[in-house]
Structures are given as structure tokens and as C-alpha cells.
Structure 1
Amino acid sequence: MRGLADDPLGRIRTAFELAASAARRRGYRGCPHLNAATEFPGPESPVAAVVAEHRARQRAAFRDALVQLGHPDPDETAARIQLVYDGGLAGSKAERSAEPITRAAALAVALAVPSGTSPEQAPARPPARPPALPPDVSRAPQPPPDRAGRS
């Protein structure tokens, strides 16, 4: 989610906002990944692998945001946020409304924010700095030398 590298809570909220936006569209039939998992339930199905990959990426994104927030248990909490996300999507499909996703987002934020901290006070750790390059490696591309051998 571009522009949110230093806003981990914003990244979690955005996942839910995107889902709610999709649920408001005409003809919304629910989460395509959950629908695919229902239609092709066998673990040997290639669809199952795609769904599993999507879920793993999503959980990793939630976990990364929680680590950046300084959450004491990012692994378990990421799994819980994913469960809340799934429930919001299922409720949205059943109710034909985005409201369950909006409620799920509020629960996810409550899970993500360290106890006793309001969402506005949640600390955001600055993104890690990239490692320094060795002195002989320049960050900027160098122009090729001209034909006379000068650079």
C-alpha cells in the first residue's frame, strides 16, 4: 500500500477499507478468495494453493504492521486480525452490506493498538534504513565514459 510505509495502522485500516469499497459495488458476491476456497475445497486443488498464498501474504502484511507498531505478539494478533477480516467479509456477503467489514475494521484496530493506547497515540516505528553500501559502490548510476575515455 503505497504511501503508508510509515503508517502501520493505516495499512491495516486500508485492507478493510478496500474490502468495504468492493462490498459497496453493485453485484458484489463476496471475497473471491473465500468463494474460490468454497468452490474448490480439496487441498490438492491448484486453487487451494493460490488461496493459501494470498492468505499468507495478507497475514504477513498484518504481522509486519504489528511489528512496526511494537505489538508484543504480532504473530498471534495477525492471525486474529485475519480471522476478523474473514468474518467481516462473510458477514458482508450474508447481509449484502459493507457494515460488517466496517465493524471488523474497528475490531482489527483495537487488536492492533497496544493496550491502553488510543489508535491516534499508537507509535509508529520508523522504517528500517537500508544497509550502507560499500564505499566503492555508488547509489547513483554513472554515465558511460565518452569515446575519448574521459568520464
Structure 2
Amino acid sequence: MSKETLQPRERILDTAYRLFLGQGYNSTGINQIIEEADVAKASFYQHFKSKEDLCVGVLEKRHQYIEEQAQALSAQKRSAKMKVLASFDLIALLNEKESFRGCAFLNILSEIPADNVKVRDVIHDHKSNIRQNFRNLLDNAELADHVYLLYEGAFVESQLYRDQWPVNRAKKIVNSLIN
């Protein structure tokens, strides 16, 4: 969909995500979002009472996107192992698509104060969901936690190195762990 055909709320969310990803949460102002989303200030505040509420909306939309992409990548995989390994393919896909910008949730987490419970809870829920998905697939909590930590480490390190090698190495380790 082009920007012109999106409803104002979606334009705001898409613009905010792009700006948060590109320049950081704290460096992005509401006025810039309003201008670049091409919405009226009243329209912005009709949908979001604050930048914090906007951040929650952005992260919830991102969570939904990640879930959809993960489902698409693992849909044709038959074994739990192949579904787990597809999670690392998702990181590689996001890295390529978004120029190694890393995990939006962790990027925002690094910018918010520790007492921002509203945003922290959304981030916690997203990460807990990923961890639980590994637990559901592997039926072994300890192994699932190892995979989860490798997954998270691969995401962070691929952002740092701006390269897929951490993802590929983590995927190889996970492949060995599950065997």
C-alpha cells in the first residue's frame, strides 16, 4: 500500500517505526512524525495520547509483523528443529531488509527509562513470547532457553558487526544442540 492509501493511524505507526529505527526513539519528535506522516496534529492525538502510547502501538504492530513473518518462514517446515532454525532465517531476512538495524524492541529498551513500565511490559511480552515459542517447539525448557539466548545474541551481534556471520554461527550451534 502506498502512503496515500493508508489511514492516518497506519501512516503514523509506519512513520514512527521508520524514524525510531533510523534515528532512535529519543531523537524522534512528535512534530517530525506528524509532518512526515502527513497528518494533522489533532489526528495524531486522536489516535495516540502521548509518544509513549505511540511507542506501544509501534511495538505491538512490530510484534504482529514478526509473528506473521515467523509463521510464513516456518509454515512449510515439518520438524520442530526446522521450525526453530527458521527463526534464525527470520533474523537474516530482517537484517537484509532493514540494513542490520537490529531488534526494534531492544533498541527502544536501551533508550527508555527503567521506570517506563508501559513500554517495558510490551517489550517483555514480546521477548517472553519468543522464548515460549522455543519452549513449545522443543519441549525442553533448558534447551529452549539456550536457543533463545543464541537467538537474541545473534540479533544483537549481527547489528554490531553489520554482518550475517553471528546469525549463521548461532544457527549452526543450534543445529548441533538439537541433534
SS at match of 1:97: coil
**Which one-letter code corresponds to 2:168 in the other structure?**
T
Alignment gaps of 5+ in structure 1: 68-73, 114-151
In the TM superposition, residue 29 of structure 1 has moved relative to its aligned partner by 1.1
3-state DSSP class of the match of 1:39? coil
Bigger CA radius of gyration: 1
Change (3 A) 1:52 1:80: same
Q: Runs of 4+ in structure 1 displaced over 3 angstroms? A: none
Aligned residues: 107
Q: How does 1:55-70 map to 2 (within 5 A)?
A: 55-67=127-139
Q: 72, 96, 103: which one pairs with 1:31?
A: 103
Alignment of 1:20 with 2:86, yes or no, is: no
Flag the structure with more relative contact order, 1 or 2, with Cα contacts below 8 A and sequence separation at least 6.
1
- Give the TM-score normalised by the residue count of structure 1: 0.63
The runs of 5 or more residues in structure 2 that have no matched partner are 1-70
Q: 1:92 to 1:5 in 2, by over 3 A?
A: closer
Amino acid paired to 1:53 = D
Paired position in structure 2 for 1:80: 146
Supply the distance in 2 between the matched residues of 1:41 and 1:80 (Cα, whole angstroms): 28
2:169 — aligned with what? Answer: 103
Q: How much has 1:45 moved relative to structure 2? A: 2.5
Q: Could you tell me the TM-score, scaled by structure 2's length?
A: 0.54
